[in-house]
Amino acid sequence: MELSFGEMALIAVAIVVLFGPDKLPSIARDLGAGVRKMRGAVEDIKTEIMKETDNPVSEIKREIEKVKDAAKEFNPMNDMHKDFLPNPTASNEPPKPKPADDETHEGPVSR
């Protein structure tokens, strides 16, 4: 709602006629205090609405960031190396010698 200059002047004249010029400062103070309270209430409502609507959005953003980080760390070649290329130094047991290199190996024994 926009008021033109003429409409505002008409409202001011009506207020002066109805309430008198001596009460005009107190009316203006009360009107200003009411407007400030109203603006504060509107800001509080906006803040609450933003908090309520921001929570799901921020949770989704955090989940997306987690997925992005996991995707950056994922390297399928590492899994292939683990599955297909055994690493003898990874286990704590010493590597077993081949039967041809082992002098104590007797081979198959029939009983």
Going by the DSSP 8-state scheme, the letter that residue 108 receives in this structure is -
Q: What are phi and psi of 76, to 5 degrees?
A: -65, -20
Q: In the chain, what are the domain boundaries?
A: 17-86
Q: Which of 98, 7, 95 is closest to 107 using CA atoms?
A: 98
- pTM attached to this predicted model: 0.39
| 24, 15 contact by CB (below 8 A) | yes
Q: Which long-range contacts (CB under 8 A, 24 or more apart) does 70-74 make?
A: none
Query: CB neighbours (10 Å) of residue 106?
Result: 7
For 42-94, write each residue's pLDDT tens digit.
999 998 888 777 677 777 888 899 998 888 877 777 766 666 665 555 556 66
